[in-house]
Amino acid sequence: MPRGYLPILIFLAIAIAFPVVTILAAKLIRPQFPFKEKLEAYECGIVAASDARGRYTVRFYIVAILFVIFDVETIFLFPWAIQYSVLGLFGLLEMLVFLAILIVGYVWIFKKGALEWV
pLDDT tens digits, residue range 35-80?
Answer: 777 777 676 767 666 666 777 777 788 888 888 888 888 888 888 8
Residue 49 lies in a domain: no
Share of the chain above pLDDT 90, in %: 23
Q: How far apart are CA 118 and CA 116, in angstroms?
A: 6
The reply to whether 79 falls in a domain is yes
Rounded to 10 degrees, the C-alpha dihedral 71/75/77/80 comes to -170
> Is the model's pTM score more than 0.85?
no
Answer yes or no: is 67 within a domain. yes
Q: Give the model's pLDDT for residue 117.
A: 67
Does any domain span residue 62?
yes
Within-domain flag for 30: no
Nearest partner of 114 among 55, 65, 71, judged by Cα: 65
Q: What is the CATH number of the domain that holds 66?
A: 1.20.58.1610
80 in a structural domain: yes
Q: Does a structural domain hold residue 77? A: yes
Asked whether residue 118 carries a pLDDT value surpassing 60, the answer given is: no
Q: Is the pLDDT of residue 25 over 90?
A: yes
Number of independent structural domains in the chain = 1
CB-CB contact of 42 with 100 (8 Å) = no
Predicted local distance difference test score (pLDDT) of residue 114: 79
| C-alpha distances in Å from residue 112, one per residue of 27, 39, 62 | 48, 42, 12
- Give the pLDDT score at 1: 59
Amino acid at 25: A
Asked if pLDDT for residue 18 goes beyond 90, the answer is yes
Q: Print the domain residue range for 67.
A: 58-112
- Asked whether residue 4 is assigned to any structural domain, the reply reads no
